[in-house]
Structure 1
Amino acid sequence: MTTVDGVRRLPVPPKPRRPKAMLIGWAIAAVVVAAHTVAWETTGISLGALVDGWRGMADFLGEAIPPDLSWKVLGPSLDAALVTLWIGLLGTTLSVPISLLLALLAARGTAPAEWVYQAARAVLSFLRAVPDVVFALIFVTAVGLGPFPGVLALVCHNVGVMGKLWAEALEDADPGPPQALRSAGANRVQVAAHALLPSVLPQLAGLLMYRFDVNVRSSLVLGLVGAGGIGFLINQSIKLFKFDEMLTHILVVVVLVVAVDRLSAVVRRRLSEGDHA
């Protein structure tokens, strides 16, 4: 022990070693590497096969380029793109009432009882777990081909996703205004309508616009299974080996997705600015 200007300097203790933590870290790393190795072998990933298939890809692109931009192809493609947009729009907006109800029942601050909370969470988990494509196949067999089963499929899946997102937003809301109303004797409905929902409305609207963006993209895939829209034309072009028409439809899809993405981003930014104002 030494002193400097009368002040004692104690030795710096050695950094404690944590062999148990290091062992756990190495074990986790080994599990991750093993899982990726099994996944690589199971999925049959082969970079050699990808390189050897360049000729087939070149032939495919050669038949697709240039795209067929004649009005005979472009006109129906634009009409189908609008149908895809309407499927995504209705699939989003028609799910709002059910999503809001389940979100209120699946948030701890607004659920009337624990069993109601657990039941609402279970319903949301089920709707979220079943892919929208599976819902589309079910509704196609029920109501036939066309945009209608696509709308129903998006509504079911979107309720599960948006209900969960909204429930989490409600649980993360500022507890001050709801507590003030409860202390004044307000019931759960009054607290939700006059304090909780107004405080999180910008977040709910932003999540709604995000889901609209996602649903428009999802409606493209639903068209591949007969749920209407431009996805149906893409699937039909591939089956008929009309790859130049397929590329035309894909270009229209790109324009549609970019436009919806920009619109959704602008609305979410305005909502964010209004929330911070």
Structure 2
Amino acid sequence: MTTAVQRPARRPVPPKPPRTRGRVLGWIVAALVLAAHLAAWRATEISASALVEGATGMVDFLSEAVPPDFGADVLAESAAASVVTLWIGLLGTTLSIPGSLVLALLATRGTAPGWVYQAARGLLSFLRAVPDVVFALIFVTAVGLGPFPGVLALLCHNVGVMGKLWAEALEEADPGPAQALRSAGAGRVQVAAHALLPVVTPQLVGLLLYRFDVNVRSSLVLGLVGAGGIGFLINQSIQLFQFDELLTHILVVLVLIVVVDQLSALARRLLGSAP
């Protein structure tokens, strides 16, 4: 006599949760984003008619700027000023390395006491929040016109930015070697020197090259407020309505930026291929 195999009873499929709540939340977010864009559009006074009306002025500017002035004197002055701009960016980057490294270590969890960590984070936030142009205006007032205030401005601002980037890189490092040294009784300085920095050095150098690229561009803007370099010549050409010389300076800046980009890319490739 065979017994029938009892099949397990089918359990009812639970109903899918309603998606009404998610849809409502999505519509609310979309409405908020749209409202923010409408408010920004009105606050920035964007006007298509003003752009159309200003087209005549752009045509006049281009007619006066083209062809650029490729005279020997203008090119020599522009090339010399672009080299000064490059030096401002270079010194503003390299001179900020000691301060950035010290503040980065102090702003990394585990390498400094709690109150020191908070103070270092606050100082980095302050240096990063103040634009380099504001620093340039302050130092131009203090030490006068020229490249020197531009170097000081980039140095102060770059310490805040690079210190923050380096601190984040240190915190994202592999915690294994650091924990091993701490368990062996190593101090904070020993942990930083032998466990953290050797691991993240390539990343720190890559971030340094990135900041050098950015600082060369920033030094151009600093020249507009009297901090020397080719930005000072651009501002002078605008004030004197010498638009053909202005276009020459812009083209020289373009060449400078391309050269800096290529050198930075080459350095990154060499860094990446190094054992």
Is TM (by shorter chain) over 0.5? Answer: yes
Deviation at 1:18, TM superposition (A): 3.6
Structure-1 residue corresponding to 2:74: 73
AA matched with 1:197:
L
Deviation at 1:196, TM superposition (A): 0.8
AA matched with 1:114:
G
Q: C-alpha deviations, 1:235-261, integer Å up to 9, x for none?
A: 000100000000000000001011111
Cα distance between partner residues in 1 of 2:63 and 2:8 = 82
Percent identical residues:
75
Structure-2 residue corresponding to 1:3: none
Distance change (3 Å), C-alpha of 1:18 and 1:67: same
Structure-1 residue corresponding to 2:170: 170
Cα distance between partner residues in 1 of 2:41 and 2:11 = 54
Q: How does 1:1-277 map to 2 (within 5 A)?
A: 13-111=14-112, 113-274=113-274
Cα distance between partner residues in 2 of 1:216 and 1:60 = 27
TM-score, with structure 2 as normaliser = 0.94
Deviation at 1:114, TM superposition (A): 1.0
Q: C-alpha deviations, 1:67-122, integer Å up to 9, x for none?
A: 101111000100000000000000000000000000001010212x1111111000
Q: C-alpha deviations, 1:134-183, integer Å up to 9, x for none?
A: 00000000000000000000000000000000000000000111112222
Deviation at 1:19, TM superposition (A): 3.0
Cα distance between partner residues in 1 of 2:79 and 2:33 = 46
Give secondary structure in 1 for the equivalent of 2:225: coil
Structure-1 residue corresponding to 2:4: none
Cα distance between partner residues in 2 of 1:19 and 1:147 = 61
Larger-Rg structure: 2
Please, what is the CA RMSD of the aligned residues?
Answer: 1.5
TM-score, with structure 1 as normaliser = 0.93
Distance change (3 Å), C-alpha of 1:11 and 1:98: same
Cα distance between partner residues in 1 of 2:190 and 2:212 = 29
Equivalent residues, number: 269
AA matched with 2:98:
P
